[in-house]
Amino acid sequence: MIPRIITLPARLWREYGQKLLRFAGVSVVNVLTGQTLLVVLYGRLGWSGMAANVVAVAVGSIPAYLLSRHYVWERNKGDHKMGEILPFWSLAFVGLVLSTALVGVVDSFSDRTIAVQAANAIAFGMLWLVRFAVLEHLLWGDRADDELVGTSG
């Protein structure tokens, strides 16, 4: 008999593997967008770390929302309702607060762009699985699929 602890990752991979890979792809786009903006705004234009981070997160959240909705969870129909936008942007706001606080701390003792980039990446890395779980189970995944099934019968 195979211990349950070993079978759990295999079951999770079967259920969520494809979405996790697509979500990782969206995350790569989001990281490239945000990190590029940090380099330009902080490293080249001399903005404060916190201001550069706020703009990078805000701008990066737009493609992250659109790609998550359409590419990861394949929600191509319907309006972008407040019930969908509010939770997504709330998660982005949590990331913004956490990353801006961490960037502010790092910026106070280092003027290196790479340190500010690392602080931003660490904050969002900590939230990555939480974001996936919320989007999957509360917004576009399991629950949304159940609601669609419930309305068809």
pTM: 0.77
pLDDT band at 142 (very low <50, low <70, confident <90, very high): low
Q: How many domains does the chain have?
A: 1
E strands along the chain, which residues? none
Residues 6+ apart with CB under 8 A from 48: 42, 107
Average pLDDT, whole number, for the chain?
Answer: 85
Residue 71 to residue 44: CA distance in whole angstroms: 33
- What does the pLDDT look like over 69-95, one tens digit per residue? 999 988 887 666 777 888 888 898 999
By residue range, what is the domain housing residue 21?
4-152
